[in-house]
Amino acid sequence: MFPTINFTGKDIPTYGILATAGILLLLFLSMRVAKKFKVDTNDILITLLVAGIGVVIGGHLVYALTNFDKIIVVFQNLDKITSFGILFDVLGTIFGGQVFYGGLLGGLLAAYIYLKKTKKDVALYAYIITPFIPLFHGLGRIGCFLAGCCYGVEMENGIVFHNSSIPAANGVPRLPIQLIEALCNFALFGVLLYLQKKGKCKKTLLYIYLLSYSVIRFVDEFFRGDSYRGFVGPVSTSQFISILIFIFTIIALIVTNKKTIKSPTKPTPTTKSKKANQK
């Protein structure tokens, strides 16, 4: 694997490079599409920056939840935290990682609050940005694969990690599940972009993404070999969140469709009706 790339004598994490590339693509393409819908690109930029803050906070919070057992241990041993150095080490252990679902939900919530507070069209902004979320995520998953921080189950003809950041992953042929998820994300990006270009699903494109990805993630979690991501009973944390997202998205779709049926688009006045109004 290639967890880092040496550039001018410095080791740069490949995950950081690909994640940054994904963020820049998300920004550039969203702003480009915004122009077609006559939406101020500065507003799109600010929305994405606010969402980015939500991504960071949400990702770290959900990661902390996967370390709930460690949190309990910390509270049981508060008397042993005798310096800021120990405190920072403890916080780093609990909050030091990111969970995609936490970042996704945190980003969506932050963007929603911002758009509502500034009285923007939430559905329109979601329609503009949604197709590029799986594009960003797919690049991030390739970064995960190269870093070796996430890995698949053992597989006879799989890919062998040699310098993964997780020692348990090394020396064993494994299913490249992160590359498979990246391909699924890129396929989902293609479908969402097609729907956007055709002007379809204007109020439900985000729901389509959430439903599709929740299924993808639920299935691919069965093929993950790393166990540090946490479990809720028999399912992983991400599978549990996938189930919740799937259920709530179905409910949101039903509610949205009912509102659409109750509020049909008013027909454009005909020439005769215009003349009648003039009389």
Nearest to 242 by CA among 109, 131, 100, 129: 100
**Measured CA distances, 226 to 21, 99, 147, 205 (Å):** 26, 13, 14, 32
Alpha helix segments (H runs only) across the chain: 14-36, 41-66, 68-76, 84-95, 100-117, 122-129, 132-147, 177-197, 205-220, 237-262, 271-278
pLDDT in tens, 18-29: 999 999 999 999
| pLDDT higher than 50, residue 273 | no
The model's pTM: 0.87
What is the number of alpha carbons within 13 Å of residue 170 lying toward its C-beta?
Answer: 10
Note the pLDDT of residue 33: 97
Q: Which amino acid is present at 122?
A: V
Q: Please tell me the distance from the alpha carbon of residue 66 to that of residue 197, in angstroms, as a whole number.
A: 39
Q: What is the pLDDT of residues 87-129, one digit of tens each?
A: 888 877 777 778 899 999 999 999 999 999 999 999 999 999 9
Residues 6-29 have a mean pLDDT of 91
Amino acid (one-letter) located at 55: V
Model confidence at 271: pLDDT above 60: no
Is residue 20 exposed (0-12), middle (13-18) or buried (19+ Cβ within 10 Å)? middle
- What mean pLDDT do residues 145-163 have? 86
Residue, of 116 and 2, whose pLDDT is higher: 116
Taking only the tens place, the pLDDT of each residue in 177-228 is 999 999 999 999 999 999 999 999 999 999 999 999 999 999 999 999 886 6
DSSP 8-state secondary structure symbol assigned to residue 226: -
Pairing status of strand 154-160 against strand 173-174: antiparallel
Give the other-Cβ count within 10 Å of 240's Cβ.
18
Give the integer Cα–Cα distance in Å for 92 and 89.
5
Q: What is the mean pLDDT of residues 155-167?
A: 83
Q: Greatest CA separation found in the chain?
A: 87
**Residue with tokens 């949205």, as numbered in its chain:** 256
- Looking at residue 170, the DSSP 8-state letter turns out to be B
Closest CA to 100 of 50, 76, 66: 66
